Amino acid sequence: MKRITIVLFVALFVPTALAQQRYYIAVGMGRHYAPGVDFENTSNDRASICDEYINPQYALVDGCSVLDRGVGAGWRVAFDNARGMNGSLAWGMQFTRRIRAEIEYSYLHSDYDESSYVGGGTGATANKLGQEIQTSRERLGSVSSNSFLLSAHYVVPRRDSRWTLYAGLGAGISALAADYTSTWARNSNPAAIRTGEGQPNVDEIRTNLAGTVSAGDAELTAVGLSWHIVAGADYLIAGQVSLGFRLRRIDFPMLESQDLVWDPLRSHVPNLRLDGSEPVHGIIRTEDFQAVTLSMVMRYHF
């Protein structure tokens, strides 16, 4: 896709095309559909029995002091599709009757606003889910994107008609921002908790762990390459003004953020040691953000 885009843009900038260029500005507004997203998250947290606030004898437990904490521990959570508004402002250049290019600013706001239970875990996280967690719920709020896109269109004028059809593709840079919340609550009954089995102070561990809550929220951000394909039709309503519709699919960059901090973490400050060392944060990751937009677009040619 990237190679095709580059070749297409190079083909535009030939002397014969430049000689026929015209310019236009375009304003678009519409609605979009954003498919469901799956998150594959990790953190640098340790097992709960390695938390000094929960288990003062953590140093006696194998693996509680290894340097690569959090390795192999993760969890999955899925969110349903969303809808939202989108808008755009573009400056375009018409090289020939059939070829034009645009540079565009585009904004999308997707209203996911959904809470979802954790679907499964690996490593130490799987043990927490199976031995102590009563509720594990994540929430994805709104997701917004600010994009600067470059695209090329192949235009098909209709003979003896005010309609013009077009299709194209392009790439650009997109900045994503998403509101994210994570809440994990332990069983309030120590007898229902299986964490700490085999430890000499098992009752102390379970009593300290019972009823604790880990809760955090963050605005997740990412900047990266996006690409899109478009198709649409314009209707000439006056000598220099056209109005039409545009259908577009845009794929956004991977969102990976370390901004999520649980504060409290198991109902204490967000680190594992009483001296304040070993701070804990979540690593939130998804590659699924995309959108299909349908917009009304007005163009003014000059």
70-89 mean pLDDT? 96
pLDDT band at 4 (very low <50, low <70, confident <90, very high): low
Phi, psi angles (nearest 5°) of residue 215: -140, 135
Q: Which residues of 175-200 are buried (b: 16+ CB within 10 A; e: fewer)?
A: bbbbbbebbbbbbeebeebebbeebe
Tokens in use for 31? 């609605």
Q: What is the 3-state secondary structure (H, E, C) of the chain?
A: CHHHHHHHHHHHCCHHHHCCCEEEEEEEEEEEEECCEEEEEEECCCCHHHCCCCCCCHHHCCCCCCCCCCCCCEEEEEECCEEEEEEEEEEEEECCCCEEEEEEEEEEEEEEEEEEECCEEEHHHHHHHHHCEEEEEEEEEEEEEEEEEEEEEEEEECCCCCEEEEEEEEEEEEEEEEEEEEEEEECCCHHHCCCCCCCCCHHHHHHHHCCCEEEEEEEEEEEEEEEEEEEEEEEECCCCEEEEEEEEEEECCCEEEEEECCCCECCECCECCCCCCCECCEEEEECCCEEEEEEEEEEEEC
Residue-level pLDDT at 207: 98
Residue 6 has pLDDT above 90, yes or no: no
pLDDT band at 291 (very low <50, low <70, confident <90, very high): very high
d(CA 52, CA 280): 13
* Interior angle at CA 251, CA 249 and CA 253, nearest 5: 165
pTM for the model: 0.85
Max avg pLDDT among 8-17, 218-227, 273-282 = 273-282
pLDDT band at 19 (very low <50, low <70, confident <90, very high): very low
d(CA 224, CA 143): 15
> Do the Cβ atoms of 138 and 112 come closer than 8 Å?
no
111-134 mean pLDDT? 95
Which amino acid, 227?
Answer: W
Residue 17 has pLDDT above 60, yes or no: no
pLDDT band at 113 (very low <50, low <70, confident <90, very high): very high
Residue-level pLDDT at 15: 43
Residue 92 has pLDDT above 70, yes or no: yes
CATH topology of domain 2-301: Porin (2.40.160)
For residue range 239-263, what is the model confidence (pLDDT) as tens digits?
899 999 999 999 999 888 888 999 9
Q: Is 21 exposed, middle or buried (0-12, 13-18, 19+ CB in 10 A)?
A: middle
Q: Scan for tokens 């392009």, then name that residue.
A: 170
Residue-level pLDDT at 288: 84
pLDDT band at 104 (very low <50, low <70, confident <90, very high): very high
Residue 180 has pLDDT above 70, yes or no: yes
Q: Is 274 exposed, middle or buried (0-12, 13-18, 19+ CB in 10 A)?
A: exposed
pLDDT band at 16 (very low <50, low <70, confident <90, very high): very low
Q: Scan for tokens 């845009």, then name that residue.
A: 250
Tokens in use for 198? 């085999």
Tokens in use for 211? 């009823």
The rounded mean pLDDT for the chain is 92
Residue-level pLDDT at 159: 81
Q: What percent of the chain has pLDDT over 90?
A: 84
pLDDT band at 3 (very low <50, low <70, confident <90, very high): low
